[in-house]
Amino acid sequence: MTMLSMGARERRARHKQLLRQDILDAARALLVRDGYDALSMRKVAERIDYSPTAIYLHFKDKQDLVFSLCDETFARLVRELDTLKRDYPDPLARLRKGLERYVAFGLNNPNHYVPTFLLPPPADMTGKHVEAADNPQSNGMRALATLRDTIADGVRARKLRKVDPDAAARSAWAAVHGITSLLIAFPTFPWGDRDRAIKNVIDMVVDGLRRD
């Protein structure tokens, strides 16, 4: 294979990847603005000035496109959490920093967070979400596993109470998701000091799990 043909193949691959990202970004903006029912492949194509055929070369249907949007968000979250164990060997500090990173991720990326965590999955996508939840290698379950493993490490180190790490991780996620989603959905609510409100929620989670 000549260097010229190798370069052309790389350019095509790069263009394909850029187009796929453009499609995801356009679909995300439309989903946040109009909701799932109003989203269509045609509207996505119009937004990026491409033919609908180009969209179908990357995603087989609307379900596949929206599921890919959610998975991309989870992948970003996994990257935010991946370095926690290296950065914070102490599980108690890691738990606090992990919860802080989660909230910061949601507040810094509302257009990613809203479609993934705030819009209820449509009936025609329920099966895909269940399938992802059953797959421990899915990005969503990997993100939750980071929290679960941190809690398990804290229990083993006798720094956290003896709890079921899976159940405790889901409860901790529910708490930080709650404050994150409320801050996004109701930015003008009189929260007072927003950072203090976030810290209070995280303190309640960590202190509730801390070993006496």
Q: Which of 204, 207, 200 is nearest to 159 (CA)?
A: 207
CATH 3.40.718.10 fits 1-59, yes or no: no
Task: Give this prediction's pTM.
Answer: 0.79
What pLDDT is recorded for position 115? Answer: 82
Q: How far apart are CA 84 and CA 142, in angstroms?
A: 13
Tell me if 151 sits within 8 A of 160, measured CB to CB. Answer: yes
Residue ranges of domains in the chain? 1-59, 62-209
CA dist 97 and 101 (Å) reads 6
Neighbours of 136 (CB within 10 A): 9
**What CATH number is given for 62-209 in this structure?**
1.10.357.10
C-alpha distances (whole Å) from 74 to each of 132, 144, 156, 181, 197 are: 11, 10, 28, 16, 25
Write down the pLDDT at residue 5. 63
What averages of pLDDT result for each successive group of 10 residues across the chain (212 residues)?
62 80 90 85 92 88 87 88 93 97 93 80 57 66 93 96 96 96 94 95 96 79
Please tell me the predicted confidence (pLDDT) of residue 69: 86
